């Protein structure tokens, strides 16, 4: 199974991680991952024995669809939930929001709850696009028509059909997503090489290396801007400054390799010619 990478989170996580296999045709192509409940209120002060947001980020990078579940009676987004959503940065296109148990409130309350949810999400999901929200009661029980009325019942059924269609499309879209992820990683590697090469060039040859390295780390935003201008790179492809700064502190910049133009050219050729050629020769097996 493709979970060997999770060993980096330690035995405290692995002892809580469980897998179940069921003989069902749908599960031959889809794996569902259910996270433990996000802590709120006083419970947030209790530290988990493993890096919860790190595990979430690991799964987010490898999955095809992320469902954020909300309850109409518990719309508050706790600090831990904010950190979880923050760890999903860069995967905004995968996120879908589900407002579950919506038949437990009447239509008037539902409109207020929906508005409050969108307002809360707007503060946490830092994207200009509006997230897709599925409203309904996603269980095997009939919808309470007495609470929502006939219009609400019809709406819930349509929303449920849309969510199921999204889930059924996962295998078909997975092939495209793998290509996109591969291209994204190749572009990230290219930008990483440019950044490392630039930082290496800024280091002195003899004295004051430690001081020069600290100065570069402190002014990492400015160094990123220089690399972007020099090589005409899109700002959206650059890594997050804080993460990069944190990782950079454990290395000696002076020992980094210089940029090799031939290797950069090989990546450009792959993105410009090899990938399109591959896509011409192979078709999506799920279409």
Domain with CATH 3.40.50.300 in the chain: 4-169
Q: Kindly state the tokens that stand for 20.
A: 């179940």
Separation between Cα atoms, residue 161 and residue 167, nearest integer Å = 10
- The b-or-e profile of 144-172 (16+ CB within 10 A means b, else e) is beebbeeebbebbeebbeebeebbeebbe
Separation between Cα atoms, residue 222 and residue 244, nearest integer Å = 13
**Confidence check: pLDDT of 44 > 70:** no
Q: Kindly state the tokens that stand for 94.
A: 């995968």
Mean pLDDT across 217-235: 88
pLDDT of 88 = 82
Domain with CATH 1.10.268.20 in the chain: 175-281
CATH class of 175-281: mainly alpha
DSSP at 64: S
pLDDT of 277 = 83
Residue with tokens 């591959």: 278
Question: Of all helices (H) and strands (E), which one includes residue 96?
Answer: strand 95-99
Which architecture does CATH list for 4-169?
Answer: 3-Layer(aba) Sandwich (3.40)
**Confidence check: pLDDT of 148 > 80:** no
Give the residue with greater pLDDT, 60 vs 124: 60
Q: What average pLDDT is seen over the chain?
A: 82
Q: For the whole model, what pTM was predicted?
A: 0.71
Question: CB-based contacts of 249: which residues, under 8 Å, 6+ apart?
Answer: 217
């Amino acid at each position: 199974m493709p979970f060997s990478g999770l060993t980096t989170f330690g035995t405290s996580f692995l002892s809580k991680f469980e897998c179940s296999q069921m003989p069902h045709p749908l599960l031959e192509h889809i794996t569902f991952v259910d996270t433990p409940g996000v802590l709120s209120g006083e419970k947030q002060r209790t530290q988990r024995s493993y890096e919860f947001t790190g595990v979430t980020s690991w799964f987010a990078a490898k999955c095809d669809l992320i469902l954020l579940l909300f309850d109409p009676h518990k719309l508050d987004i706790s600090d831990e939930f904010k950190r979880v959503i923050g760890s999903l940065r860069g995967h905004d296109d995968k996120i879908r929001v589900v407002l579950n148990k919506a038949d437990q409130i009447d239509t008037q309350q539902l409109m207020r709850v929906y508005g409050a949810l969108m307002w809360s999400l707007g503060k946490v999901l830092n994207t200009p696009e509006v997230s897709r929200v599925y409203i309904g009661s996603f269980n095997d029980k009939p919808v309470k028509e007495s609470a929502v009325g006939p219009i609400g019942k019809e709406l819930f059924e349509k929303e449920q059909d849309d969510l199921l269609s999204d889930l059924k499309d996962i295998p078909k879209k997975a092939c495209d997503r793998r290509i996109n992820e591969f291209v994204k990683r190749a572009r990230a590697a290219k930008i990483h090489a440019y950044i490392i090469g630039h930082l290496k060039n800024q280091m002195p040859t003899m004295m004051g290396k430690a001081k020069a390295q600290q100065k570069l780390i402190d002014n990492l935003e400015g160094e990123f801007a220089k690399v972007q201008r020099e090589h005409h790179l899109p700002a959206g492809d650059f890594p997050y400054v804080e993460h990069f700064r944190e990782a950079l502190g454990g290395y000696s910049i002076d020992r980094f390799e210089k940029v090799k133009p031939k290797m950069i050219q090989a990546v450009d050729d792959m993105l410009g010619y090899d990938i399109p050629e591959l896509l011409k020769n192979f078709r999506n097996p799920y279409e």
